[in-house]
Chain A
């Protein structure tokens, strides 16, 4: 009994400690971000590896999610004779929730895990130590560009996801089932508010982007320099950032759409 309490206490302290170290790491990254303005090509490269290479999975998933939304939404809406609202249903679900959240989850498993593995391996093979011995700060040269590259990619990927989803909903709803095309688009236009829905969605995916990249970078940087350590850190990145995305989504949604 007492042992259990002790263990719980120990784990809590460890957890809080780790959180503190991660925050400090985050601050250091921001502090050393000047290099990204001086040498934008470093960031562009990371946008390519994190963003462009995640594009395919985002596009395909977005399309399927939108198609499912079209089917399910039509099923429910037609019961009340309001299938013309299909466009607004699909668009609102995607722009407010599914776009940012699902894109971030996919991004965490595609790009986040890759970032952790890459940095963990750079550490295990002494590349980070070598860089320090060459008087180049790895936080500035390796970590900061990856942070900004991933952070810029995230909202763009979420937007891509939503756009593909809406297209998928259109394919199923209008082309396949035969919902009236005019009302599909006009209802969507009327229902989606630029500030309320789109900007909030972009803000959400920005927050998720920060969470995923900080977790991925920190796990890689703090990983024990062994094969086992790196593989564990990679798993932890996916698990922790997925949980963080879902928890943050709840908090953000509660603040954004209360009373709306």
Chain B
């Protein structure tokens, strides 16, 4: 049994000639909730897609349960993915199926379970996210936060060993935010999962995660337990944790001096 469920070493990735990741190291131990933070566009979603094997690295390795993801063929990859859940930012529910059928999707595709048993399992998963009563609604009838919880129920349908969440908190009100955060923690603990959470929401995630990675400029800029991060002296982390507008991470996208753009003076 590998103690480290996910192990990433020296990972490089580029879209075309544009490098996004330049040497990321990251470890997720079994049973942990780890958070990946960083400013918008730094490559967090890209990192999740690399772990899921939908894109391949140019250099370095991603290992899940000791298997090199980039080295798997389609069958191997699909076998591995049956044991991973991924929560897309907007849920990505199948819009032509009801909530029930969405959660039942993988059970029907990957198992030969009889329909009554599928029904019990689906209702159980929906109950875990508090939406058992919504099982016959269509995705269009759900709010954004509900859709994400349904997507979470769908992601845990096959009892995966690993769940990846892409910004589960974005666009939620403070109550749903806390609910979702607790849910992730509780599911991880009760189902014995490992969770990787990509998020911007420092305050909420620091309450529930075991370990945090900060990514900046394509490398892991800082790492540590929630307590270590809170008391970190690094200016980058400090800016992030306290939500300050300007600091090592600039508010402005690189641009010419303001005056030049407004035509007031010439460079």
- Interface, chain A (partner B; CB < 8 A): 118, 121-122, 125-127, 129-137, 141
Contacts and interface: CB of A to CB of B under 8 A. Distances in A.
B90 A126 contact: yes
Question: Contact size class for B?
Answer: 20 to 34
Closest 10 CB pairs of A and B: A130-B92, A126-B92, A135-B78, A135-B81, A133-B86, A135-B82, A126-B88, A136-B109, A134-B106, A127-B92
A133 B95 contact: no
Contacts of A141: 109
A136 B54 contact: no
Given A122-B94, A131-B94, A134-B82, 17 more contacts: A121-B95, A126-B90, A126-B92, A127-B92, A127-B93, A129-B88, A129-B92, A130-B88, A130-B92, A133-B81, A133-B86, A135-B77, A135-B78, A135-B110, A136-B105, A136-B106, A141-B109
Nearest to A45: B96
22 contacts: A122-B95, A125-B95, A126-B88, A127-B95, A129-B54, A129-B88, A130-B92, A130-B94, A132-B54, A133-B52, A133-B81, A133-B84, A133-B86, A134-B82, A134-B105, A134-B109, A135-B78, A135-B79, A136-B105, A136-B106, A136-B109, A141-B109
A129 B94 CA distance: 11
A135 B88 CA distance: 15
Interface of B: 52, 54, 77-79, 81-82, 84, 86, 88, 90, 92-96, 105-106, 109-110
A5 to B, nearest CB: 28
Contacts of B110: 135-136
Contacts of A129: 54, 88, 92
Nearest to A136: B109
A134 B95 CA distance: 16
A137 B110 CA distance: 12
A113 B71 CA distance: 39
A137 B79 CA distance: 12
B106 A130 contact: no
A137 B109 CA distance: 10
- Residue among B78, B92, B95 having the largest count of chain A Cβ atoms under 10 Å: B92
Contacts of A127: 92-95
A146 B8 CA distance: 39
Contacts of B109: 134-136, 141
B168 to A, nearest CB: 15
Contact of B86 (A130, A136, A137): A130
Nearest to B166: A126
Contacts of B77: 135
A135 B80 CA distance: 8
A129 B124 CA distance: 25
A128 to B, nearest CB: 9
B117 to A, nearest CB: 19
A134 B54 contact: no
Q: Which of A131, A135, A141 has the most chain B CB atoms closer than 10 A to its own CB?
A: A135
A136 B97 CA distance: 16
Nearest to A132: B54
Nearest to B93: A127
